[in-house]
Amino acid sequence: MFDLTGFQRDIVYVIAGREDPTGVAVKEGLGRCYDVEINHGRLYPNLDTLVDADLVVKRAKNDRANIYKLSDRGITALRERRQWENKHLRKSQAVIG
């Protein structure tokens, strides 16, 4: 996950926090944190990049929507990222309080 953009990492976190979200649900989850509207032209190419990187699995929910979930590789990558974050946050505990 270290080579992902911040936006792509945020997508991974949103997917990890929901049970089989659709693209619309991912968009809504991101929209709660971003001051700008997340449009389809930004979201779906980034979802496809995560699928191509084997971090996310996409499957059809119905004729109009797909659902997304972390792949085994995605779960491992997220776990490694969290360990890395925790290690560095402990070092700066005095700064962040």
68 falls within a domain: yes
Residue 29 lies in a domain: yes
State the number of CA atoms in the 13 A half-sphere of 75 facing the CB. Answer: 6
- Asked if the structure places residue 85 within a domain, the reply is yes
The CATH code of the domain that includes 67 is 1.10.10.10
Instruction: State the average pLDDT over residues 9-33.
Output: 95
Query: Is 1 inside any structural domain?
Result: no
pTM of the model as a whole: 0.88
Neighbouring C-beta atoms of residue 54, cutoff 10 Å: 12
Contact present, 70 and 12 (Cβ < 8 Å)? yes
Q: Provide the Cα torsion 6, 8, 9, 15; round to 10°.
A: 150
Residue of 17, 50, 56, 10 lying closest to 33 (CA atoms): 10
- Domain range enclosing 69: 6-96
Please count the structural domains in the chain: 1
Q: Are 78 and 70 in contact (CB under 8 A)?
A: yes
* 77 found inside a domain: yes
Position 91 pLDDT exceeds 80: no
